[in-house]
Structure 1
Amino acid sequence: MLRPEFPVLSRGAARPALPDGGSGDFTEAWLRNRRLSEHTRDAYRRDVAGWLAWCAAGELDPLRVNFLDVNSYGRELEGATAARSGRPLSPATVARKLSALSSWYDFLVKLRAVEANPVSGADRPHVDRDHSATVGLTPEEVDALLAATEAETGPAAARNRAAVALLADLGLRVGELVSLNVTDLGAERGHRSVRFVGKGGKPRRRALTPSTAYAVDAYLAERAAAQQVAVPELAGPLLVTATGARLDRHSVFRLVRRLARTAGIPAWAQLSPHSLRHAFATTARAEGVPLEDVQDAMGHADPRTTRRYDRDRHNLDRDPAYVIWAARARRRG
Structure 2
Amino acid sequence: MPPPDVPVLPRPTATPALPAAPVDVTEAWLANRRLSAHTRDAYRRDVTAWLTWCAHTDLDPLRATFLHVNAYARALEGSVGARTGRPLTPATVARRLSAVSSWYDFLVKLRAVDANPVAGADRPRVDRDHSATVGLSPQEVDALLAAAHADTGPTAARNRAVVALLADLGLRVGELVSLDLTDLGVERGHRSVRFVGKGGRPRRRALTPPTAYAVDAYLAERAAAQGLPPAELTGPLLVTATGGRLDRHSVFRLVRRLARDAGIASWARLSPHSLRHAFATTARAEGVPLEDVQDAMGHADPRTTRRYDRDRHNLDRDPAYVIWAARSRRTPG
TM (normalized to structure 1)? 0.92
Q: Secondary structure at 1:187's aligned position in 2? A: strand
Deviations 1:259-307 (A, max 9, x none): 0011111111111111111111111111111111111111111111111
Paired residue type of 1:65: A
CA distance in structure 1 between the aligned counterparts of 2:274 and 2:251, rounded to whole angstroms: 12
Residue 62 (structure 2) aligns with? 63
Residue 222 (structure 2) aligns with? 223
| 2:249 is aligned with 1:250 | yes
Deviations 1:49-86 (A, max 9, x none): 22112222222111112111111111111111112222
Residue 279 (structure 2) aligns with? 280
| 2:143 is aligned with 1:144 | yes
Alignment of 1:1-333 (within 5 A): 15-17=15-17, 22-332=21-331
Q: Secondary structure at 1:148's aligned position in 2? A: helix
Q: Secondary structure at 2:326's aligned position in 1? A: helix
Paired residue type of 1:78: E
| Worse overlay, 147-156 or 313-322 | 313-322
Deviations 1:105-136 (A, max 9, x none): 11111010011111111111100011111100
CA distance in structure 1 between the aligned counterparts of 2:194 and 2:44, rounded to whole angstroms: 28
Alpha-carbon deviation of 1:18?
5.0
Alpha-carbon deviation of 1:87?
0.9
Deviations 1:220-275 (A, max 9, x none): 11111111111111111111111111111110010000000111111111111111
CA distance in structure 1 between the aligned counterparts of 2:76 and 2:105, rounded to whole angstroms: 21
Q: Are the counterparts in 2 of residues 15 and 114 from structure 1 also a CA contact under 8 Å?
A: no
CA distance in structure 2 between the aligned counterparts of 1:313 and 1:248, rounded to whole angstroms: 34
Q: Are the counterparts in 1 of residues 134 and 270 from structure 2 also a CA contact under 8 Å?
A: yes
Q: Are the counterparts in 2 of residues 134 and 275 from structure 1 also a CA contact under 8 Å?
A: yes
CA distance in structure 2 between the aligned counterparts of 1:275 and 1:132, rounded to whole angstroms: 10
Alpha-carbon deviation of 1:15?
4.8
Alpha-carbon deviation of 1:88?
0.9
Paired residue type of 1:288: G
Q: Secondary structure at 1:322's aligned position in 2? A: helix
Unpaired runs of at least 5, structure 1: 1-13
Identity %: 83
Alpha-carbon deviation of 1:150?
0.8
Q: Secondary structure at 2:205's aligned position in 1? A: strand
Residue 9 (structure 1) aligns with? none
CA distance in structure 2 between the aligned counterparts of 1:84 and 1:165, rounded to whole angstroms: 26
Q: Are the counterparts in 1 of residues 17 and 112 from structure 2 also a CA contact under 8 Å?
A: no
Residue 8 (structure 1) aligns with? none
CA distance in structure 2 between the aligned counterparts of 1:208 and 1:253, rounded to whole angstroms: 22
Paired residue type of 1:163: V
Q: Are the counterparts in 1 of residues 223 and 233 from structure 2 also a CA contact under 8 Å?
A: yes
CA distance in structure 2 between the aligned counterparts of 1:331 and 1:149, rounded to whole angstroms: 52
CA distance in structure 1 between the aligned counterparts of 2:41 and 2:68, rounded to whole angstroms: 24
| Worse overlay, 108-117 or 30-39 | 30-39
TM (normalized to structure 2)? 0.92
Paired residue type of 1:207: A
Paired residue type of 1:322: Y
Alpha-carbon deviation of 1:328?
3.6
CA distance in structure 2 between the aligned counterparts of 1:84 and 1:142, rounded to whole angstroms: 25
Q: Are the counterparts in 1 of residues 15 and 60 from structure 2 also a CA contact under 8 Å?
A: no
State the superposition RMSD in angstroms: 1.5
Paired residue type of 2:58: E
Q: Secondary structure at 2:195's aligned position in 1? A: strand
Q: Are the counterparts in 1 of residues 39 and 199 from structure 2 also a CA contact under 8 Å?
A: no
CA distance in structure 1 between the aligned counterparts of 2:147 and 2:322, rounded to whole angstroms: 38
Q: Secondary structure at 2:63's aligned position in 1? A: coil
